[in-house]
Structure 1
Amino acid sequence: MTARPLIGLTLDAEEPGGYSKLPWYALRRNYFGAVAAAGGLPVALPHDPALADAYLDRLDGLLVTGGAFDVDPALYGGGDRHETVVLKEGRTAFEIEILRGALRRDMPVLGICGGEQLLAVALGGTLIQHIPDAVPDALAHEQPNPRTEPGHEVALTPGTLLSRIVGAPSMAVNSAHHQAVDRPGEGAIVNARAPDGVVEGLEHPGYRFCLGVQWHPEYRVDARDGAILDAFVEAARVAARHAA
């Protein structure tokens, strides 16, 4: 049996209340389940930037997850912070450190939703701080229907890694974001857009596997979502084999 590559997943952080009277970490179970179903061995990564290299010494792939917060515009020269922007500074400090470390090592990376936005920033790109204020006639990117259902479709850019993985010109996706990638960064390319032109995915062909999607493929609202996780885990498996 082929060994499962070790996939690190970044956690969300919550203040006291609800689950615990003390600060706590959280992540939806379907993130872990999707990685395991794709053949990976998922592990959670607590937020300690000083441990980023030690984690990376052991990991074969990095998945940067989403969450109900935003990347600080100070990290990408975005100017004044929009009134809707919510920060989790400790989480972002860890995620940007481990993400940049993974890129330096050419480790396979997958960014989902906010993770895709952070990937753009790590690659030198910028973000739109609030879609309704920046995109005329924008779709409801914070969809009113459940996240287990599609919110809109995206068109995939022909010839991109994402297009080859999915094998179709478009996908139905769920949508839970008020920010989006503006510029994807030096050398990075846009691989998916919504009908209103909003960037829905990016990748960098200069890396072994460097992919970000604005939606949540772990929900599998489209039959092709599983292919994204499969391709990421397979890239991590190949990377681990070459490192052995």
Structure 2
Amino acid sequence: MRKKPVIGIVLDLAEDSEKYRYSSFPWYVLRQNYVASIIKAGGIAIMIPYQIEAIAEVLDIVDGLIIPGSDEDIHPKFYHQEINSKYVEVRNDDEKTDFELAILQKAIERDLPFLGICHGMQLLNIFFGGDLIQHIPDYISSTINHKQPDTKNTPAHNINIVEGSILSKLTANKEVMINSNHHQALGKIGDGLIITATAADNIVEAIESPQHKFVLGVQWHPEYLNANDIDFAIFKGLVEAATENL
């Protein structure tokens, strides 16, 4: 019997471009701090490539799941919209989103502890029938810059946490500073999800599914572990929820 829970982290997929230079062939990618955060929280991290036919077998060997951030936007067709902003950047194919939605569905069916980070939170909302604001500045005029121009790991703005939520149980503070690196945000909230943190301009910063033991989406990047007192607690909470599956 394992003594530590295994947390699966879905990989991102990149290709050679002006933005990235690594290989002439596509490659999987994940920043190391996602893995380091799981290890520090007491879990074992494994990375999950796109094998859609093997999702059941993959979930048999993990006790929790993370869908992390991504530099690309989810194509609006997945929430029944056309692209309506010149700032939307989507993949040329659906392989990534198809896989992420498929593995999320099976994880939810099993009630596996789940953490969606930035892109992962947006995917969670879409999975439950919600949609996205395709470009925040086109939607609202705000003094908050949700997409930090330089250092992505430094605190950028406050969020307010809803009492009684998973997040509220992870910190004694009801207002915390977070980093911020997104130009899109949640629009309509998916069925059964609840908003558990917002910014001062009412942009949604966290969602949860109260029907499940631990299903949490956060719009910032807690894997940097240096923005506030809640970042590490989020990974610790995921690992502790996953420990119940041992």
What TM-score comes out, normalization by structure 2 length?
0.93
Tell me what 1:6 maps to. 6
Tell me what 1:223 maps to. 229
Matched letter for residue 197 of structure 2: A
Tell me what 2:182 maps to. 177
The reply to whether residue 135 of structure 1 matches residue 150 of structure 2 is no
Closer, same or farther: CA 205–165 of 1 in aligned 2, 3 Å = same
Q: Percent identity over the alignment?
A: 40
Matched letter for residue 10 of structure 1: V
SS at match of 1:183: coil
Match runs of 1:81-100 below 5 Å: 81-88=84-91, 89-100=94-105
Distance across 2 between alignment mates of 1:78 and 1:104: 27
Tell me what 1:68 maps to. 71
Whether the 8 Å contact between 2:55 and 2:103 is mirrored in structure 1 is yes
Whether the 8 Å contact between 1:9 and 1:64 is mirrored in structure 2 is yes
Distance across 2 between alignment mates of 1:70 and 1:144: 18
Tell me what 2:52 maps to. 49
Q: CA deviation at 1:124?
A: 1.4
Tell me what 2:240 maps to. 234
Distance across 1 between alignment mates of 2:172 and 2:187: 26
State the Cα deviation string for residues 93-122 of structure 1 (Å, max 9, x = none): 111110111011111100001001001111
Tell me what 1:29 maps to. 32
State the Cα deviation string for residues 176-226 of structure 1 (Å, max 9, x = none): 001111122111100111111100110010011100000011101112211
Q: CA deviation at 1:82?
A: 2.7
Tell me what 1:199 maps to. 204
> Which stretches in structure 1 are left out of the alignment for 5+ residues?
none
Q: CA deviation at 1:2?
A: 7.2
Runs of 4+ in 1 over 3 A off after TM superposition: none
Number of residue pairs the alignment of both structures matches: 240
Distance across 2 between alignment mates of 1:176 and 1:48: 29
> Which stretches in structure 2 are left out of the alignment for 5+ residues?
none
Distance across 2 between alignment mates of 1:22 and 1:11: 16
Whether the 8 Å contact between 2:153 and 2:221 is mirrored in structure 1 is no
Distance across 2 between alignment mates of 1:138 and 1:82: 20
Distance across 2 between alignment mates of 1:194 and 1:51: 39
Q: CA deviation at 1:168?
A: 1.3
Q: CA deviation at 1:81?
A: 4.5
Matched letter for residue 183 of structure 1: K
What TM-score comes out, normalization by structure 1 length?
0.94
Structure 1 window deviating more from structure 2 (132-141 vs 194-203): it is 132-141
SS at match of 1:47: coil
Whether the 8 Å contact between 1:145 and 1:151 is mirrored in structure 2 is no
RMSD between aligned residues: 1.6
Closer, same or farther: CA 62–80 of 1 in aligned 2, 3 Å = same
Distance across 1 between alignment mates of 2:60 and 2:169: 30
Whether the 8 Å contact between 1:131 and 1:138 is mirrored in structure 2 is no
Whether the 8 Å contact between 1:127 and 1:182 is mirrored in structure 2 is yes
